[in-house]
Amino acid sequence: MSDERENSGYHPEQVESKWRERWKQRGTNAPDLDRPGSEPFYNLMMFPYPSAEGLHVGNMFAFTGSDVFGRYQRLRGKTVFEPIGYDAFGIHSENFAIKMGIHPGELIPRNIANFRRQLERVGGMFDWRHTVDTTDPSYYKWTQWLFLQLYKAGKAYKKKAAVNWCPTDKTVLANEQVEGGLCERCKTPVEQRVLEQWFFKITDYAGRLLDNIDGLDWSDSTRGAQRNWIGRSEGAEVDFPSPAGTLRVYTTRPDTIFGATFMVLAPEHPFIDALTTPVQRGAVDAYRAEALKTDLVARRTGEKSKTGVFTGGFAINPATGTPIPVWIADYVLMEYGTGAIMAVPGHDERDFAFATKFALPIIRVIAAPGESASTPLTEAHHGHGVLVNSGPFDGVSTAEAPRKVTSWLKAKGAGEGKTLYRLHDWCISRQRYWGPPIPIIYCEACGPQPVPEQDLPVVLPPIEDFRPDDSGVSPLARHREWYHVACPKCGKQGRRETDVSDTFLDSAWYFLRYPSTEFTDRPFDKERTKRWLPVATYIGGNEHAVLHLLYARFITMVLKDLGHLEFEEPFLRFRAHGMIVKDGAKMSKSRGNVVIPDEYINKWGADTFRTYLMFLGPLGDGGDFRDDSVSGPRRFLERMWLLVGDAGDVSVGPGVPPGLLAKWHRAKQRATEGMESLRYNTAIAALMELLNAVKDEGAHPRALVDEMIVMLAPFAPHFAEECWERMGHATSVFDARWPAFDPALLIESTVEIVIQVNGKVRSKLTVARDADEATVLAAALVDGATKKFLAGREPKKRIYVPGRLVNLVV
RNA sequence: GCUCGGGUGGCGAAAUUGGCAGACGCAGCGGACUUAAAAUCCGCAGGGGCUCACGCCCCGUGGGGGUUCGAUCCCCUCCCCGAGCACCA
Asked if residues A183 and A287 have their Cβ atoms less than 8 Å apart, the reply is: no
Q: Which nucleotides of B are covered by protein (CB under 7 A)?
A: 3-5, 11-16, 19-21, 23-27, 38-42, 56-58, 69-71, 82-89
In whole angstroms, B71 C1' to A103 CA is: 63
At A662-688, the pLDDT tens digits run 888 889 999 999 999 999 999 999 999
Of residues 258 to 297 in chain A, which lie within 7 A of strand B by their beta carbon? 266
pLDDT of residue A298: 52
In whole angstroms, B61 C1' to A805 CA is: 22
In whole angstroms, B47 C1' to A762 CA is: 20
In whole angstroms, B59 C1' to A682 CA is: 30
pLDDT of residue A769: 67
In whole angstroms, B51 C1' to A765 CA is: 27
For A297-352, the DSSP string reads HHHHHS------EEEEEEEE-TTT--EEEEEE-TTS-TTSTTSEEEE-TTT-HHHH
Please provide residue A88's backbone torsions phi and psi, each rounded to the nearest 5 degrees.
-105, -5
The span from the first CA to the last CA of chain A, in angstroms, equals: 65
Of residues 720 to 779 in chain A, which lie within 7 A of strand B by their beta carbon? 752, 754, 756, 758-762, 764
At A486-497, the pLDDT tens digits run 998 898 999 999
pLDDT of residue A509: 96
pLDDT of residue A685: 94
Closest CA to A275 of A317, A246, A318: A246
Of residues 53 to 112 in chain A, which lie within 7 A of strand B by their beta carbon? none
Of residues 173 to 232 in chain A, which lie within 7 A of strand B by their beta carbon? 179-180, 220-221, 224-225, 228-229, 231
In whole angstroms, B32 C1' to A337 CA is: 79
In whole angstroms, B43 C1' to A540 CA is: 44
In whole angstroms, B6 C1' to A27 CA is: 44
A302 contact to strand B (CB, 7 A limit)? yes
pLDDT of residue A628: 80
Q: What is the C-alpha separation between A455 and A451, in angstroms, rounded?
A: 7
In whole angstroms, B83 C1' to A458 CA is: 40
Residue at minimum CA to C1' distance from nucleotide B26:
A629
In whole angstroms, B83 C1' to A619 CA is: 16
Closest CA to A421 of A264, A256, A291, A550: A550
In whole angstroms, B49 C1' to A696 CA is: 35
Question: Which nucleotide in the DNA or RNA is closest to residue A632, CA to C1'?
Answer: B25
Q: ipTM of the assembly?
A: 0.92
Residue at minimum CA to C1' distance from nucleotide B20:
A754
Question: Which nucleotide in the DNA or RNA is closest to residue A685, CA to C1'?
Answer: B24
Question: Which nucleotide in the DNA or RNA is closest to residue A229, CA to C1'?
Answer: B85
A382 contact to strand B (CB, 7 A limit)? no
A5 contact to strand B (CB, 7 A limit)? yes
E strand spans, A174-231: 178-179, 182-183, 191-200, 217-218
Asked if residues A440 and A448 have their Cβ atoms less than 8 Å apart, the reply is: yes
Closest CA to A574 of A662, A511, A634: A511
Asked if residues A169 and A95 have their Cβ atoms less than 8 Å apart, the reply is: yes
Q: What is the C-alpha separation between A582 and A629, in angstroms, rounded?
A: 13
Question: Which nucleotide in the DNA or RNA is closest to residue A342, CA to C1'?
Answer: B89
Closest CA to A741 of A804, A680, A675: A675
Please provide residue A11's backbone torsions phi and psi, each rounded to the nearest 5 degrees.
-120, 95
- Alpha-carbon torsion A89, A90, A94, A95, what sign? negative
Of residues 429 to 488 in chain A, which lie within 7 A of strand B by their beta carbon? none
- Alpha-carbon torsion A634, A635, A636, A638, what sign? positive
In whole angstroms, B37 C1' to A5 CA is: 15
Of residues 582 to 601 in chain A, which lie within 7 A of strand B by their beta carbon? none
Asked if residues A33 and A81 have their Cβ atoms less than 8 Å apart, the reply is: yes
Closest CA to A455 of A493, A485, A477, A492: A485
This prediction has a pTM of 0.90
Give average pLDDT by consecutive 10-residue segment, chain A, 810 residues: 55 93 93 93 94 87 95 96 94 81 90 94 94 96 97 92 75 67 70 83 91 86 86 90 92 92 92 93 90 59 73 93 93 88 90 91 87 83 84 88 91 90 88 91 92 92 81 81 89 90 94 96 95 94 87 96 95 89 68 78 93 92 83 92 73 67 89 93 94 84 90 96 92 94 73 75 73 76 72 76 77
pLDDT of residue A652: 54
In whole angstroms, B58 C1' to A762 CA is: 14
Q: C-alpha distances in angstroms, A552 versus A98, A248, A328, A511?
A: 29, 35, 39, 9
Q: What is the C-alpha separation between A261 and A252, in angstroms, rounded?
A: 16
E strand spans, A526-635: 537-541, 573-577, 580-582, 585-586, 623-625
Question: Which nucleotide in the DNA or RNA is closest to residue A542, CA to C1'?
Answer: B83
Amino acid symbol at A91: I
Q: Assign residue A803 a region: left if phi > 0, alpha if psi is -120 to 50, beta otherwise?
A: left
pLDDT of residue A179: 66
Q: C-alpha distances in angstroms, A68 versus A36, A409, A592, A607, A764?
A: 20, 59, 30, 11, 41
